[in-house]
A and B are shown apart, each in its own frame.
Chain A
Amino acid sequence: GDSVTQMEGPVTLSEEAFLTINCTYTATGYPSLFWYVQYPGEGLQLLLKATKADDKGSNKGFEATYRKETTSFHLEKGSVQVSDSAVYFCALEFQGGKLIFGQGTELSVKP
């Protein structure tokens, strides 16, 4: 079945470091791909999305490119801030309002 695999956390970085969170997926077709972020005690917020191969989603300095050949959607940011500390979820969706999530990656940024 369809699934999403993320790199395990927690990931601990110093402020201004480069961030990569790996995400790969298994799917029978061509889903839409998403990154969501969850801050402590809150629901999920959409960070970025891509709906077809080679699309690049970007928001708040975060970027991810839909790579069909490697079935990947890695999240990157050039310079993280303490305020980026949160749990990040990669997800895919075909249709019918059903998101399939990865297990989440906790990011901790130290000043």
Chain B
Amino acid sequence: KAGVTQTPRYLIKTRGQQVTLSCSPISGHRSVSWYQQTPGQGLQFLFEYFSETQRNKGNFPGRFSGRQFSNSRSEMNVSTLELGDSALYLCASSVPAGGRADTQYFGPGTRLTVL
């Protein structure tokens, strides 16, 4: 079974631009979560989608948004980029069981650099 894939792997943008990152979960996984990883703040939860609905959201400004499609693929969007948005963005997928998410499997991440 193919793992979680994320595209693109690397991205360079300038302040004020917007960016869209894509995540394809493992086949059969219906939950997708997004995380931001930075040296200063570590790994922080952004949001989680299940069956095209956002079920949980972290403490990030409204510039960070996401969505999930009917095939479980997910995208996250960051508008009006700031220098501090430079980070590794990780996507993870899982098979929720009984309302409690199972083990999350991570993709390789998208490295976003904001200049």
Report which A residues bind B (CB closer than 8 A). 32, 34, 36, 42-46, 49, 89, 91, 93-104
Stretch at the interface among B13-21, B41-49, B75-83: B41-49
A100 / chain B contacts, CB cutoff of 8 Å: 45
User: Is the CB–CB distance between B103 and A97 below 8 Å?
Assistant: no
Taking beta carbons and an 8 Å cutoff, which residues of B are in contact with A?
4, 31-33, 35, 42-45, 48, 50, 55-56, 58, 90, 92, 94, 96, 99-101, 103-109
How far, in Å, is A59 (CB) from chain B's closest CB?
Answer: 12
Contact A44 B106 (CB under 8 A): yes
Assembled-state Cα–Cα distance A43/B105 (Å): 9
Q: Which residues on A sit within 8 Å (CB–CB) of B45?
A: 98-100
Chain B residues, CB < 8 A from A99? 33, 35, 43, 45, 92, 104
Sort A-B residue pairs by CB-CB distance and give the 4 closest, nearest first. Answer: A97-B48, A96-B56, A101-B43, A43-B106
Which chain B positions have C-beta within 8 A of A91?
Answer: 43
B42 touches A98 (CB 8 A): no
Which residues of chain A are near B96, meaning CB under 8 Å?
A: 97
Q: Is there an interface contact between B101 and A97, defined as CB atoms closer than 8 Å?
A: yes
